[in-house]
Homo-oligomer: A and B are copies of this chain.
């Protein structure tokens, strides 16, 4: 991770949770108190965000964090996956923010892995979307990768995706692709969303790099895969669930995208336990 970027988000989150002091901790815990504490998993899942968790304490200072697993690892309820050693005040004051990141990122990795497991044995890959939490995208896209998924474009500036409104404004699929090709950097692939075979044929003719099949039936997707015949990468999109993803993958599409992995996940339950005072760091 690019810490110059990430630190701004983490500092902002720490200030959100502590605009002044941690009044409870500062009243009860001596300034020089040191402790160790375990990081424990309370629910099976995939862990993601360990470096972010650690960075929270680096920014607060005087806390060392050691991990026994790495991002993308499957963890079990009851497993101790890390240990913190350092200033007790900073451990307690940073706990919630650090866990808020780690639990969300692990929740995303866990849900993503459930989707990617369904794709085992196929060549189809799972994609995320831009339906991420504001000011969390860099963390959430990272977590999708930890869960075995792939990232779609990061934002509106670094990838082209022509949707219905762009197409109709441009006067058709072909015109839209040609206009974009003429104007954007040649390092960008051009992706276009198609809803029917007429649009699909235009997209092929205009040499789209990626064709998104939007909300097509399984039958039509199969037919589209045949028509495209490796001349473009294919992304299937729309109403993807754990129940239907395997069937969609069987149509032979290259990618299946779903917003659910970043907009409708549950956190992975994790906590810090067994705080013990020690003499010093």
The docked-state distance in angstroms from the alpha carbon of A220 to that of B60 is 39
Counting CB contacts under 8 A, is A11 at the interface? yes
Q: Cβ of B160 and Cβ of A263 under 8 Å apart?
A: no
Q: Of A74-82, A113-121, A177-185, A241-249, which stretch is located at the interface?
A: A177-185
In the assembled complex, A59 has its CB within 8 A of some CB on chain B: yes
**A186 pairs with B255, CB closer than 8 A:** yes
In the bound complex, do residue B2 and residue A138 qualify as a contact, i.e. CB atoms below 8 Å apart?
no
> Among the listed stretches A161-169, A198-206, A221-229, which one makes contact with chain B, having 4 or more residues with CB under 8 Å of it?
A161-169
Q: Which of A50-89 contact B (CB under 8 A)?
A: 59-61, 88
A231 to chain B: closest CB distance in Å?
14
Given A104-B263, A169-B88, verify A21-B157 contact (CB < 8 Å).
yes
| Complex interface residues of chain A between 116 and 152 (CB less than 8 A to chain B) | 125, 127, 130-138, 150-152
Does B18 contact A156, Cβ atoms closer than 8 Å?
yes
Check if A32 is an interface residue, CB within 8 A of chain B: no
Interface size on A, residues (CB 8 A): 94
Q: List residues 1-19 of chain A with CB under 8 A from any CB of chain B.
A: 1-5, 9-19
Q: Would you call A154 an interface residue if the criterion is a C-beta within 8 Å of the partner chain's C-beta atoms?
A: yes
CB-defined interface of A14-40 with B at 8 Å, one 1/0 digit per residue?
111111111111111110010000000
Is A250 at the interface (CB under 8 A from chain B)? no
CA of A279 to CA of B21 in the docked complex: distance in angstroms? 40
- A176 contacts which chain B residues (CB < 8 A)? 28
Q: Would you list the 6 A-B pairs with minimal beta carbon distance, nearest first?
A: A13-B134, A264-B266, A158-B158, A20-B157, A22-B156, A28-B166
Known: A25-B156, A151-B185. 10 other contacts (CB 8 A): A1-B21, A4-B15, A5-B19, A19-B155, A24-B160, A152-B186, A153-B187, A159-B187, A189-B189, A264-B265
